[in-house]
Structure 1
Amino acid sequence: MELTSVYLTEELAGLRQRVADLEASEAECRSIEAELRERAYQQAMIAKLGQRVLAGGDFDPLLDEITVLVTQTLKVDYCQILELHPDRDLLRLRAGSGWPTALIGQATIKADPTTHLGYTLFSSKPIIIEDLRTDPRFNESGQLFQHKLVSGVSVIVDGEQWPFGVLSVHTAHKRKFTQDDIYFLQAVANILGTTADHRRTQLALQEAHDKLEQRVKERTADLQAANEELRNFAYIISHDLRAPLVNIKGFAGELDYSLEMLRASLDHVLPQLDDAHQADLTTAIHQDIPEALDFINSSVSRMNSLINAILKLSRLGRRELLSEAIDMTDLVQDTLNSLAHQIEQTETEVTLAPLPQVVADRTSMEQIMGNLLANALNYLTPTRPGRIEISAQITPKTVTFRISDNGRGIAQDDLPKIFDIFRRAGRQDVPGEGMGLAYVRTLVRRHGGQIYCESELEVGSTFIFTIARNLAEELENDR
């Protein structure tokens, strides 16, 4: 009986111990389950924050959302984002939860390493505070912006070049933050740091873009003013040059009339002179004076042509360009038809590849193609059959035209100068003022393009120019 009683007592004690162990295990499981739920919730909040950042939007509302999210997730009394001042001596309360609205954006503290927030800037690890009032590392009274703080965690919001600031949380009562809490706050700080860096880059790019745009506007205005002055100068010069030319032409006419009168009187005058004077007077009247008059007249005509060329070039910049759809194959074929006699005379083989349609100024396109094709014909080599090829290459926004010939070519030293006004390369056996390529370059530039030449002496030349496929869009973009 006694043995049975002892046995039962021992069994009962064992059962009680097992129950206690099971209860302890259940409590531990509940604790682990709660911890896992809390960790999963924190990770979900980090994912939510990541999605919010990817969605974009203004920076300040994002900071406000971050402080609210952190406050709710960690169940703290205060959360604050403090931005480091550019001088690196102050931290400004940029956003916060739990703080009076009047403090946000206004309140500042010194970035002093004797304070826990200032010290955070110099630490690569989170700063964990169990009781700010008694923490020996910092010389603080347990208050921030006149609010009582006890426990807290603060982490640096680092940046690529310099820290953005500090992210911190605090409670008004004593609390032990878990390692998961600290990991969560660090993850939020990392996201915030990356976002702040991205914003800095965006602001820097926008500032650079604005400065560049302003500079382009200023330079464009200066260029327009200079062009207007140049056009006015061209008109003034042409007027001032034309007046003396008219006088010279008039005086030359009077001299020519006087010369005719002298010729009529020559038969009466010559018998009164000796042989030497007769010879001198005859030579002067029949050779020297007519040659001088011819030189004066040709020089006046040449100067008049140059003045007209200057005026024509200045008018190119004034004329309004009219956009229309142009079949360039048809336009070039019409140009070739107008040059058919010269093509036949020089026995030139012309190859015209299919050309695209462009939206451009028809008159300009006719002048560009007319000048380039006429040049190609004028500077062919007589000793071999001529060959001219016209082709084009298309990109989404531009068209590049190529006009190649097997003519006499251009020396490399002359290539940079051929588009200058009054400049002509090689032998001067073709009539002209040296303005054709200057006209072409001006017209190409007005169509938002560029022109250049590749050439080799006695082999041939290729003129390549690129214009916008749609002049109307190009002009709109320039406004």
Structure 2
Amino acid sequence: MSVERDPIIEASPDDAAPHLDPELQYRLRQQDLLSQLGVLALRRADFEELLHAATRLVAQGLQCRFCKVLEYLPAKNVFLVRAGVGWGPGVIGVATVGADLESPAGFALKTGKPVISNHLENEKRFRTPSLLAENGIRRAINVILQGDGEPFGVLEVDSRDSDEFLEQDLAFLQGAANILGMAIERRSYQSALEASMARQQLLLHEVNHRVKNSLQLVASLLHLQANAATSEEVRTALNEASSRIVAVGLVHERLYKADDVRTIDLGQYLRDLEQSLSAAAGQCDVRINAPPDVLIETDRAIWIAIIANELVANAAKHAYATSKDCVVDIELQRVGDDEVELRIADHGRGLPEGFNPNTSRGLGMRVVLALAKQLQATFNLQGGRSNGTELLLRFPLRVAA
């Protein structure tokens, strides 16, 4: 091998074993560079950074100044210089090379075989592309970069010196191309997966949007029916049912506007419900105090909203002389890192003497107890005739499996 080389960064003398044959040292250095490239690829480096790093390492491995990754653009039948080292400004990401049989890279792509040309000025198989001629390139070696099913392009090393590329150099270059090929396939799979996930997310948001609209329609129909009812008992029952449906619909509204459909901000959700809770209880004054960023699973947020709905309705119905006098405070607060406490209190006439929620025949209280059990919550209902009624519900943010 000639000692005349393009000026590039070479391995430091400390890296070489002085007792080894220079040719063996050279090949061992190539294997070390392939290992470095493999590590970069496994670390899931940014794809563009990986391509540029690969060209630097390959140039070092073949002791050449010029190296480039040529991406094949089938629509134009050209190669785009996607990454490279040694080239001047206006080349990377801009310059193109013909992909026909008249160029070294095109010859490799069309024949499916690697190409070594140590004397481009005498080459009969293809012409020398203008990019190579303008940079004084005298020899070139390239291999195909395989993509996901179709070739991604070509990995090419070029040199101005009069040395020669050998078959061993081709093995090194093919090793680098194989590593890049796996990274290209992984990138293709990842892009397809991300596109699929984005589509599923879009569909899920659309479903939640439609569910919200459908529930809103049902709630409106129930409300209209309640207004037309002649029985106060029927009117109340229909309004309560409408309020429950609105509570579920508001969750779906939040879900189609959110990035994460698995959890919901419970405090914000309760604040969204404030008007609905008030209207369902005959314009009861519902005052909500809740901190932000209390994230909870979506299904459990619905249960909590329905509990609040039932208790506000009960307060308006039983705690005050008229619903217009009704005032209910709803407070949410964290208890440590893993639990939340919900307090719902009115200021009315309090619970009747001997009231036991566990034996109550009222639908609202039975709903509250059933949902509290689902929440794995501790349930404490208190209230005398002079100081109103207070419910304390403590539950974990996440339910144990």
- Tell me the TM-score normalised to structure 1 length: 0.48
Cα distance 1:102–1:139, how it changes in 2: closer, same or farther (>3 A)? closer
Per-residue Cα deviation, 1:174-194 (whole angstroms, up to 9, x for no partner): 221122211110000000011
For structure 1, the residue ranges without an aligned partner over 5 or more in a row are: 1-29, 246-299, 324-357, 368-434, 448-469, 475-479
Per-residue Cα deviation, 1:134-170 (whole angstroms, up to 9, x for no partner): 2111133675373222111000001231111100001
Matches within 5 A, 1:263-302: none
Per-residue Cα deviation, 1:193-226 (whole angstroms, up to 9, x for no partner): 1101101111121122122222322332232233
The equivalent residue for 1:53 is 41
Q: How much is the aligned-residue C-alpha RMSD, in angstroms?
A: 3.9
Contact 1:132 1:141 in 2 (8 A): no
Identical positions, percent: 28
The equivalent residue for 1:101 is 89
The equivalent residue for 2:120 is 132
The equivalent residue for 1:217 is 205
SS of the residue aligned with 1:138? coil
Cα distance 1:202–1:317, how it changes in 2: closer, same or farther (>3 A)? same
Cα distance 1:362–1:31, how it changes in 2: closer, same or farther (>3 A)? closer
Contact 1:159 1:196 in 2 (8 A): yes
Matches within 5 A, 1:318-357: 318-319=246-247
For structure 2, the residue ranges without an aligned partner over 5 or more in a row are: 1-17, 252-264, 267-298, 310-362, 376-394
Amino acid aligned to 2:240: K
Matches within 5 A, 1:64-463: 64-85=52-73, 87=75, 89-140=77-128, 143-144=131-132, 146-239=134-227, 241-242=228-229, 245=230, 305=234, 309-319=237-247, 361=303
CA distance in 2, matches of 1:142, 1:106: 14
**Shift in Å, 1:75:** 1.0
CA distance in 2, matches of 1:230, 1:219: 16
Per-residue Cα deviation, 1:104-159 (whole angstroms, up to 9, x for no partner): 11111232122111111123331010111221111336753732221110000012
Per-residue Cα deviation, 1:36-84 (whole angstroms, up to 9, x for no partner): 1111111011111111111122111111111111112211121000111
Contact 2:222 2:241 in 1 (8 A): no
Per-residue Cα deviation, 1:291-347 (whole angstroms, up to 9, x for no partner): xxxxxxxxx79xx64x65543332213349998xxxxxxxxxxxxxxxxxxxxxxxx
CA distance in 2, matches of 1:317, 1:472: 24
CA distance in 1, matches of 2:237, 2:72: 65
Cα distance 1:237–1:472, how it changes in 2: closer, same or farther (>3 A)? farther
Contact 2:55 2:83 in 1 (8 A): yes
Amino acid aligned to 1:132: L
Amino acid aligned to 1:312: E
The equivalent residue for 2:340 is none
CA distance in 1, matches of 2:129, 2:244: 79
Q: Which has the higher contact order (CA 8 A, sep 6+)?
A: 2
Cα distance 1:233–1:105, how it changes in 2: closer, same or farther (>3 A)? same
CA distance in 1, matches of 2:135, 2:207: 56
Cα distance 1:129–1:142, how it changes in 2: closer, same or farther (>3 A)? farther
SS of the residue aligned with 2:105? helix
CA distance in 1, matches of 2:19, 2:108: 32
Cα distance 1:141–1:31, how it changes in 2: closer, same or farther (>3 A)? farther
The equivalent residue for 2:337 is none
Contact 2:97 2:129 in 1 (8 A): no
Contact 1:142 1:148 in 2 (8 A): no
CA distance in 2, matches of 1:71, 1:128: 15
State the number of aligned residues.
261
- Tell me the TM-score normalised to structure 2 length: 0.56
Contact 1:234 1:310 in 2 (8 A): yes
